[in-house]
Every structure is written in structure tokens, then in C-alpha cells.
Structure 1
Amino acid sequence: MSEERLVIRRSGFPSKGEIVIGTVTRVMDFGAFVSLDEYEGREGLVHISEVAPGWIKDIRDHVKKGQKVVCKVLDVNPKRGHIDLSIKDVNERQRREKLQEWKSEQRAFKWLEIAGEKVGVDGKELEKIGKKLLRKFDSIYAAFEEVAYEGYEVIAKIAGEELAKEIAELAREHIKPSTVSVRGYFELKSFAPDGIERIKKALSVVKKYHSDGAEIEVEYVGAPKYRIVIRTEDYKAAETLLKRVIDDVTKAMKKLGGEANFVREAI
């Protein structure tokens, strides 16, 4: 792992109207150049007229090299590589929310780095994985939030199972969702004349768990699949409950002369 801190940046250009965060790299009499922290190799210009409301005598009274600024994207010209920015068009609420969002994202970069170190994934590979997570979830922090709520399966195809499980551990440690969920589907078959009724009877055993402080949904997907979604306040409790539900429904279905198989669903 490189000693340089891991930062995952987006490819391409920001969108017009987007609120972005950046670092002032040069201050000229006519404006300030800002390196966009979230975008790979992108720099924009804040014209002096967009630095602050009213007439500006000296731009250096308002912005300095190395300063972190929150800007609104006024215009983008990908062919010429130009990005026009405004500082004055960002209100205090937008500025505060963007700064908080960026702080959360930096924490997520660190968590991803720690997870990579634990399972032996190097910085270059982490960056590739991070870019894929960005494309799917829009931010690395949002990916961690999703994992905290839904379990490691949500990113297993992108990160690989080993890294995904490590990320899930960190996500559950640092992000406390109000509820978490686990899910999968049963494949239930009965060749008896009243097969549908037998399947319903086997699935009805989940009703006894509703009083355990968990929310359980049973949804017909299409023969022979029936999805089960369990939501609780604790991930381990959800996993334990899912195991009990799998065991009970499987036993009930076999007792009724049918077949049962459970498949954990990747979200």
C-alpha cells in the first residue's frame, strides 16, 4: 500500500448547476483557478465577478492559494476543457452540506484503504474498485451506507467477496443505520394437487417472528420463487433471524411433502 492517502476521483466533467468542492491553485487579477477535488485532473475558473457579491477591489482579499472553496458549476465545455465556476452563487446551506459531504467521503476513503490493507488489496486495485463503486453509488460513503443497511452482497460483484465482507465490518462499525435488511428467495415446489396451499402453509411459519421486533416481507416473485426480506435494527440479529426462517420454512415444506431451497440474493 502506498504511503500516499487514497482518494477516489470521478472521471469526466461535472454537470452544469452541480455544487463542487475544490482547492484554489492560482489567484490572478481576473479570477481564481480551482482544482476540483472530486474530479480527476479537472480545473475550473472563478471569474472575479463570481467570487463575491458587489464590486471587488482586490480578489486576494477574498480567495487565497490553497484555500478550500465550494462552487457552483456555471458552464462546462468538455471540448475545450473549460469549467466556469461561481463561489458567490453558493448559499450557506449548500456550502455547509457540501463540506460535510466531502468530510464523510474522505472518511470513506480511509475505511476503504483500511479494508484493502486487511485483505491485501493494493492501492491501484482499490482505486479501480473505488471508481466502480462511484459509478454505482455516486459516492464511496454512499456505498458504505448501502452495505451497512443491506449487507456485503450489495458490492460483492464489484469488490470481491473477501474485500466486501471487510468493508461490511467497517461499515457496521462506523455507520449506524436505523434499520438493516437481509434478503434472499425460496424456491418452493409441491407436486400435490393442493400444492399452492401447501406452499402458503410452509411460508406462514414466518408470522411467529413478527413479534420479535423485526419486519418480515414475503413476496411472490414468480413460480417457484418467493422473496424474503427481513429488516431489523441490528445486522447480526437480522442474519440470525434469517437463518431461523430458512430452517423453519425448509422443514415445514419438506414435512408437507414438497421441496425447498434458499438462495441468498445479491442486491
Structure 2
Amino acid sequence: MTLSYDISRRAFGAMLLGTTAACAPRIDDAIAEPAVPVQQDWVAGYGPIFDAGYNLPGIPSRYLEGVNRRMTGLYQGEAPPNSLDVDPYAKFLYHVKDDGTATRYPVGVGRAGRSIRGRATMQFMRAWPGWTPTQNMLRTEPEVYGDFRAGIPGGLRSPLGARALYLFRGGRDTYYRIHGTNDLPSIGNSGSAGCIRLFNQDIIHLYDQITAPMPVLIRTPEESLRVDPENYNRGVELPPTVISAEELLGPEADALARPPDLDALSPGMI
């Protein structure tokens, strides 16, 4: 059997472009064609997904080695039940539950000096959200973000991937997000401009388990060392992987403009 996918080179690149506000990296060179296997034995929970009318590819097992995959077990951290606990040093996000367990997801985080710290509230959540640069981004770097001033609607072109959780502090938007990505090598490493990235399979799984609002703890170095010294500072720092505005918005990208259909049924269910 051969698997087919809706995600093209441009769609893959679009979801690497960045995220809202504090998360958006510089836009420069287009990326190379991603290598997507047409057939393989998928790791449980990471196979192809049909979502909102799109066929999302499975995650190759080379990105899921060791601790770099979703796991559930006893929670050893310091966040309260019914909260999210993010360890940017060990590169994990925990969904902490009432029964003393947690589901742990591997994440990609911001490069040095580009991350949110402390406590926040996940105020709301969206499926297949759009992205718009802030006025400050347009004012300070018009040559970078000017082509995107009208925003990018939700769908395959959106840098926020399949789902996004919006972090607030003191009732104000921090412009940091927890969101999906197709930048597979960034998971388990520091490669974003500040936001917290998950595999699309993981952000969809998390999204289906939680409701807003929900408290979020982002660990300090001291908290990370105290709770998970074994994984402290795992991963490496990566340069941003981005796509040019022409590549994303050019005439040949029109096929990516198909909006998500949140009521679409999988072909196998029809």
C-alpha cells in the first residue's frame, strides 16, 4: 500500500516559518524537499493522521528515539494537577492530571534568550489557527514581515500547525504559543524563536485532552535540575529553518489556500 499526502514542499515550509509575534524567525532561504517515507511501520501514536481535510504524514522513527516520544507515567514534578508543566531545559511538556500521573510530550523550545519563563495561563486554544505579524514586527523589520502584514489563514500554510494554545499573563497576551510544527528535527532541541513546538500528532493529542483556561508553569533552570537532572540541557541549539515569502505566497502556492474543514470525515469512514 502507498500512502498519499496533501503536504507539499511549500506546505511543509510554511509550517516552519515561525509563529506569532515573539515566535517568528527571520524569513530567508527556502527549504529543501522533505523526505517523507511512503510506507513503514509507524511508532504507535505517530502514524499518518487525517485531520480537517488534510492528510498529515507520520513521524519517521528516527525522530522518536529514546525519550523523544509521548509517554504517560507517574508525575514527579512540582506543578499542580490539571496544569501544563514545560521544562525548556529537558525539552518536555507535561500534562499533569488529577490522579498523580502525567503525559509527557517532547518539545522544541526557543534558542538562548528567546523563551518565556515563570507562570502563565493557557487562555484559549484553536484548531488550525492563522498567524499575523504584530505591528511592532512590521515597524521594526518591514523587509522581513511586510509581505505577511495581512496574515496567513489557518491551514497548511499557517506556521502554527494543526493546533495552538495561547499563553497569557496578567490577562495580557504574551504572544508565546504552544503549537504544532513540521520542523521535525527541532523537537528535543532549541530551534524556535521562543514558542514551544510539538509534533503535530502530539499537539492534536494534547488538545483533545485539555480545556481552557489552564495554568502553565515554565520551569527555571533550578527547577529543571531539581526535578529532572538526567535530561537537563538535552539537545542542541539549531539555526532557524524558514521559507521565503515568495515561496509561500507566490502564484504556485494557491493550492495551499484550501481552508481546514473541521467537520471533514476520513475517507475510510465514508
Bucket of the pairwise TM-score, normalised by the shorter protein: under 0.3
Q: 1 or 2 for the larger relative contact order (CA 8 Å, sep ≥6)?
A: 2
TM-score, normalised to structure 2's length?
Answer: 0.22
TM-score, normalised to structure 1's length?
Answer: 0.22
Write 1 or 2 for the structure with the bigger share of helix.
Answer: 1
